[in-house]
Structure 1
Amino acid sequence: DAMLDGMQDSGTELYSSLLGRFITRNDLYALQDWGEWWCSGATVWGKWTQNEELDGGLIQGKNMDGEIDLRKTTVNDLLIFANEPSDTTKAKWIGLNWPGFIGEYNGMNQYGVTAVTHAGNSPANWEPTDFYTVPLIYREVMERAHSISEAIEIIFSYKSSAGGPGIMGEIINMASPYFEDREGHPAVIFEGDSYGGIVRYPDDVPPSDPYTILVTNTFFKYKGGETSSPCKM
């Protein structure tokens, strides 16, 4: 409601000639389910960032390769959103999104946990009605996760009756600060769809490197819920 109020206060025309009515709260919810097609990214740390400036720290990057919307809003109008929830039990976080978007596609919270998403080209299961909008799941990750393991738990907690947390294929690159004495991987990839999901670690798929993980819109470990799902296995 606050988003609609802000749009109205700014003088934005809320009437859509295409829809033949004024934009509603439900339209904003629909806007949150946005496919990040053709994006690609990489995360590196350790020996690949060993220099005076970075001292082995983690670097995470993503290309917004898709530009799937006609006006290229997702690449030409990116904004840095600073979110400070009124509920003090939730984490502060920043997101690189665009006007009208209240979910999360590219973000980092105050604990250094990042969630950078890429759409997966997997067929959807349209039968269940208990799916939750994926960008709002990632917003939950930003507000609640203190670590990568907690982020994974949050994603799997939104499993639908079909078995997966999202309607379409989803591939999310999650990372946290890297320290040599910290156990576990500082970056992982969640690969999933309507039917299930799995976590891919840096050394899971050859050729592998313990200090690198790459991501695009293709599953490399998860086989997909249907035999027709594209897969690199």
Structure 2
Amino acid sequence: MATQFLNRTLGFRSLSAFALVAVVCTMPLRADDTATKTANRDGVEVTGKLESIDGARVLTVWGKPHERGFAHGYLLAPDIVALLDGYLRETVTDTAEFEQRAQAFLRMMSLLPRYQDEVRGMLEGIQKRLGDTARISSLDRAITYDDLFTVACIPELSRLACSSFAAWGSLTGDGGTVCGRNLDWHGIKALHGTELIIAHLPDDSTRSRGWVSVTWPGFAGALTAMNDAGVCGSLHDVPALRPTMPFGFTPRAMALREALEAAGDDTAIEKFTAVFKKRIVLVGNNIPVAWPHKPDGGKPFAVIEYDGNLAMDRGVTVRQDEYPPADGEANRATMKRHSRKTMIDPPPRYSDKPAQRTETYSKQEFLICTNHYCLRAAPQSCDRYEKLQDQLVTCSQRGIPVDPSRAWELLRSVACDGSRLETHHSVVFEPNRRRLHVAFAKDGKPAPACKPVSFNVDALTARGLAKPAASP
């Protein structure tokens, strides 16, 4: 299977072997439209600042791609090197074999020129900050561009098991969209306590929207994020159809970032599907996408089923209706619509039980996403999906509003406690308000059981900057 192949290819010890990553403030910012460099106490100028907001670290970057990358690398240099080195020490057993096979893997991957510039800038920032100590001691060499490129490919190499949902309209009380997301990943010690928020200001040079990411140091892509139009998206793994191309793959977190930088609240599906159809990915994905709900605007949430099999919908299929696992009608429709292809993971068995819920579910004001397809393959059973489904049906039937507080309860009900996977971060999005509430795992507790911190995306992505925090 693909996961096993990738792990063997890169010489990893386990499924999680190379997952380095996944890898705000509410105070008003100056209304100045010109983002300028800020001098740190050591004389180095960077287009960025690093601060702490209610105990959460927040990195803000602006400027052209190379400048943003330099600020990211310079301000987080010790964290990036320590995280990468610590992860490799925990997971890689044969460093020579790892280096050789990692290079072979990177030859299959590609980045847009502007993202290449950003990664080069990140490397230069690390080197400027650390000098000769910018080394990965587990590999006994200096950190390189390829190392940071590989970090952007982490989600291809170590898979995510995550849970998301959205509710809107009469189900949320105020009529807006509420979206919840758990990022579940392997319990690698190097990942603990290192997550942060990165706010990317709009970039006129690339016509990119501002966006806010929940991530790890050194990761240039998007794992869980919201842009300045209130559009949010995240990555979920899915057993997928084999890609039709042998190379030229885009790291899926970079494809998600590109879509977020382009999408407005009235164009979310259009922009996401256009980007994804241009960017071929190696592995299967569910991409839950939410945006602000409008009374006459239709459903403000979709799950984009996305993989490298271009023979099926050019790799991108959009789902906006609820197809519960074991819904026989949905399964039969899927099997009729698509001839069965060879899958990376074997297709799940599906039920022929008569469907009784399809029409009802198509009218409901919620949608769920975990780790199986509903349209590109037959739906399969998932306990997290079914738990969320049962609770959201109950809320709908009893008139219980799914507000942010209820969203946290839902996320806690499907959190991973660390016995196999860990819920590293959890986020509740309010797209209509352009707010996100973020909790990180701490002291052995999964993220949704920890205290969240709230952020205003309008403030975080505003042009012009408050006085920067003291430099490292």
| TM-score, normalization by structure 1 | 0.81
The Cα shift of 1:59 comes to: 0.8
Give 1:174's aligned residue: 289
1:86 shift after superposition: 5.0
> Alpha-carbon deviations, 1:17-48, whole Å to 9, x = none?
33332221121111112335111111111121
Task: Specify which of 121, 144, 153 is matched with residue 2 of structure 1.
Answer: 121
The AA in structure 2 aligned to 1:157 is K
Separation of aligned partners in 2, 1:172 and 1:58: 17
The 8 Å contact of residues 152 and 254 in structure 2, kept in 1 or not, is answered as yes
**Aligned counterpart, 2:182:** 63
Structure with greater helix share of residues: 2
How far did 1:122 drift?
2.5
CA distance 1:61–1:131, change in 2 (3 Å)? same
Letter of the aligned partner of 2:166 in structure 1? Answer: T
Distance in 2 between the 1:111 and 1:37 partners? 26
3-state SS, counterpart of residue 44 of structure 1: strand
CA shift digits 1:85-137 (9 cap, x unpaired)? 25262211111111001111111111111111112233654961111111111
- Alignment pair present for 1:221 and 2:375: yes
Instruction: Name whichever of 17-26 and 101-110 sits farther off.
Output: 17-26
Residue 187 and residue 92 in structure 1: after superposition, are their counterparts in 2 closer, same or farther (change >3 A)? Answer: same
Confirm or deny that 1:212 pairs with 2:331.
no
Post-superposition offset of 1:72: 5.4
Matching residue within 53, 77, 87 for 2:205: 87
**Percent of counterpart pairs with the same letter?**
27
Q: Deviations over 1:40-63 (max 9, x none)?
A: 11111112111xxxx111111111
In 2: Cα distance, 1:39 partner to 1:124 partner: 21
The aligned residue for residue 271 of structure 2 is 150
Paired residues of 1:187 and 1:202 also in contact (CA < 8 A): no
Q: Indicate which of 294, 300, 307 corresponds to 1:193.
A: 307
The structure showing larger relative contact order (alpha-carbon pairs under 8 Å, at least 6 residues apart) is 2
Deviations 1:172-197 (A, max 9, x none): 10111001122x32100011222123
Paired with 1:168 and 1:104, the residues of 2 have a C-alpha distance of 16
Task: Name the SS of the counterpart of 1:130 in structure 2.
Answer: coil
Aligned to 1:103, what secondary structure does the other structure show?
A: coil
> Per the alignment, do residues 79 and 219 of structure 1 end up closer, same or farther by CA in structure 2, a change over 3 Å counting?
same
Q: 2:228 aligns with which of 103, 110, 114?
A: 110
Say whether the 8 Å CA contact 2:243–2:281 is kept in structure 1. Answer: no
Q: Distance in 2 between the 1:104 and 1:143 partners? A: 10
Q: Give the Cα–Cα distance (whole angstroms) in 2 for the partners of residues 19 and 43 of structure 1.
A: 43
d(CA) in 2 for partners of 1:94 and 1:47?
28
Does 2:119 match 1:119?
no
Moved more, 83-92 or 99-108: 83-92
AA paired with 2:299?
A: H
Mind listing any 5+ residue stretches in structure 2 that lack a counterpart? 1-119, 310-314, 328-356, 382-472
Contact 2:273 2:316 (C-alpha < 8 Å) held by counterparts: no
- In the TM superposition, residue 219 of structure 1 has moved relative to its aligned partner by 1.3
1:102–1:20 CA distance, 2 compared to 1 (3 A)? same
Aligned length: 214
1:141-162: per-residue Cα shift (whole Å, max 9, x none)?
121112222222211122xxxx
Q: Counterpart in 1 of 2:168?
A: 45
Q: Which amino acid aligns with 2:198?
A: F
- Alpha-carbon distance in structure 2 between the residues aligned to 1:200 and 1:86: 32
Distance in 1 (CA, whole Å) between partners of 2:187 and 2:150 is 15
Structure 1 residues 76 and 120: CA distance shift in structure 2, 3 A: farther
Is 1:202 matched with 2:321? yes
Q: SS state of the match for residue 27, structure 1?
A: helix
What is the aligned-residue RMSD (CA, Å)? 2.5
Q: What corresponds to 2:330 in structure 1? A: none
Maintained 8 Å contact 2:301/2:320: yes
* Alpha-carbon distance between aligned partners in 2 of 1:167 and 1:135, rounded to the nearest angstrom: 12
**Secondary structure in structure 1 of the residue aligned to 2:233:** strand
